[in-house]
Chains A and B, each alone.
Chain A
Amino acid sequence: MINQYIKGMLEISVEGVNLERFINRCNANGLVLYSVYRERYDLMRCTVNLADFKKIAVINRELRCRIRVKKRYGARFLINRVKRRKAFVIGAAVFAVFIVILSSSICRIDISGINRVTATQILEVVNEMDAGVGIFKAKCDTKALEMAIRRELPDVDWVIVDIKGVVMDIRVIETVEGEKRTDTTPSSIVSEVDGEIVYISSLRGDQMVNVGDKVKAGQTLINGIIDRRKDDNYYLIRNAMGNIKARVEYTGQAMIKLDEVASRVYTGNTTEATYISVFGLKLGDDKAPTYEHYDTESVEYNVFSENRLFPICAVKKTYKEYILLSDEELKSKAREMLIKKACSDAKRRIPIGAKIEAQDIDYSFDEETNTFYASAKITAVHSIGVKKVLTQSEIDEITRPEGEKNKNG
């Protein structure tokens, strides 16, 4: 079919009486008819090869059908048309060449995944490898570029260079910095507060306490001076390391007088009234609300500043309803406030991240002074170890005994 298209095809209409005879004659002479369609009894359409059309003319001499060419297909006719429009063809060819050239080089570089490494560093490596913007894609060796980036930039753990269309996509995965041990100063871990040990894990140093032991603030939990006299006849001095958690009690106190507690509680219901005051006369609606108890807020807007000659102002009043608490309600509110105060007093010393286990509150009321007193006891579990640097004198004092050697680990 493509071959026929290149050579050329014609769509013809055949008008005549015995069209079946026409078709059979064409076939008998080796002509191939395509898309034969009968429109009327005496009219049909079909498509024939350009080379066969001449033979149809010969066949038709006897049959005397009326043959008209309706359409022309094929590269041959296209070339004839193009011959008349040379400038268009040249322009199209130049355009195609430009498109091919432009799309075969890299126009943009996208870099992603960088944090410590900068885009400038990566682009420097790319330019050194002759793989930047404007370079032909075929000339660009992505594998070599990946290896060069990893070699030149030690912070890059892995890199993927991919060329999609005219864009070079560089995806970087950086190395993860590990913790470096720099502190080798001899030290022990001591308790920051009083508490009961619930968890201890000694990574370096001598463990001095166990789970369940009650410790005091300043007590050594993990000793940096490790006693090896029994086995190796020396002391090992280390920078102690470990994790110790303890259950610690925190207390808080608070007091509140009944008079200090607001006996009013606002319901949230409000009413507004606005009116204009002219020389003291009220023009507008200023009806008092129907609330039993209410507070009034008033705002005035002067029409003329200072209002000396023409005291005209707009007044907006807001009435807020409140209810008065009974004695029992007041005491209950006071107790709530007191408990909150006592707990916050206790909690302000608890470190962030501590797990609170229990909370106990005791309160009492002094009728003479109308004052509530409360004390809160909160039990929390958290890490209690802090590093204490061992001075030389402390080390000497412990390791001094006669006939024994000291070694620094």
Chain B
Amino acid sequence: MKRLRFYAGKVSERLGIAPEIASDIPKVTMRGDNELLIENHKGIIEYSPNNIRIGIESGVLCIEGADLFLNVMDHDMVVISGRIHHIMKLDGGKR
């Protein structure tokens, strides 16, 4: 599986395709301090207005803030809005 991913990455690089499209690499885009776009997520682990934990390919992404809500949620993309104070990535499996 790792080798497949490695080759997929190389092919997409040669063809000029964005890596997050070709593989499961998560992509996090932050706009200002109140909107966060996460692509290629693995689902919601925990959700509350102050704390959201989202599973990604290589671990868990923790978002801490206030008045957080999921603006749009799709099978591979989630937009989190609200006052974001902290973004942390925890390595390893889901916790």
Q: Which residues of A contact B (CB under 8 A)?
A: 19-20, 23-24, 26-28, 30, 32-38, 41, 44, 46
| A24 and B44 in contact, given A32-B74, A38-B49 (Cβ under 8 angstroms) | yes
Instruction: Tell me, rounded to whole Å, the shortest Cβ–Cβ distance linking A206 to chain B.
Output: 90
A44 to B45, CA, bound (A): 15
Contacting pair A28 B45 (CB below 8 A) = no
List chain A residues, Cβ under 8 A from B28.
none
C-alpha gap A44/B72 in the complex (Å) = 14
Q: Is the CB–CB distance between A23 and B44 below 8 Å?
A: yes
> Whole-angstrom distance from the CB of A19 to the nearest CB of chain B?
7
Chain B residue total in the interface (Cβ 8 A): 14
Q: Residues of A contacting B46 with CB < 8 Å? A: 20
Contact present for A37 and B43 (CB under 8 Å): no
- Interface residue? B71 (CB, 8 A): yes
Whether B44 and A37, one on each chain, are in contact in the complex, defined by CB atoms closer than 8 angstroms, is no
Which residues of the other chain, B, contact A41 by a CB distance below 8 angstroms?
Answer: 48
Does B95 touch A at the CB level, under 8 Å?
no
A26 to B46, CA, bound (A): 15
Supply 19 further A-B pairs (C-beta < 8 A) apart from A30-B75, A35-B69: A20-B43, A20-B44, A20-B45, A20-B46, A20-B47, A23-B44, A24-B43, A27-B74, A27-B75, A28-B43, A28-B75, A34-B71, A34-B73, A36-B73, A37-B69, A38-B48, A41-B48, A44-B47, A46-B70
Interface of B toward A, CB cutoff 8 Å: 43-49, 69-75
Complex CA–CA separation, A34 to B69 (angstroms): 9
Q: Chain A: which residue is nearest B41 at the CB level?
A: A27
Main secondary structure of the interface of A (DSSP, over half): mixed
Distance (whole angstroms) from the CB of B24 to the closest CB of chain A: 15
The one of A20, A26, A32, A37 in contact with B72, judged by C-beta atoms closer than 8 angstroms, is A32
Q: Which of A32, A33, A34, A36 has the most CB atoms of chain B within a 10 A radius of its CB?
A: A36
Per the bound structure, the CA–CA distance linking A46 and B69 in Å amounts to 10
Write out the residue numbers on chain B whose beta carbons fall within 8 Å of the beta carbon of A35: 69-71
Whole-angstrom CA separation of A45 from B80 in the bound complex: 15
Query: Given the complex of chains A and B, what is the CA–CA distance between A382 and B46 in angstroms?
Result: 102
Instruction: From B47, B48, B49, B73, give the contact of A32 (CB < 8 A).
Output: B73
**CB-based contact B70/A19 at 8 Å:** no
Q: Which chain A positions have C-beta within 8 A of B72? A: 32-34
- Chain B proximity of A1: nearest CB distance (Å): 10
CA distance A37 to B70 in the complex (A): 6
Chain A to chain B contacts (Cβ below 8 Å), 14 pairs: A19-B47, A20-B43, A20-B45, A23-B47, A24-B43, A27-B43, A27-B73, A27-B75, A32-B73, A34-B73, A36-B47, A36-B70, A37-B69, A38-B47
Docked Cα-Cα span, A27 to B77, in Å, equals 10
| 10 interchain residue pairs of minimum CB distance | A36-B70, A37-B69, A24-B43, A33-B73, A27-B75, A20-B44, A23-B44, A32-B74, A34-B72, A38-B48
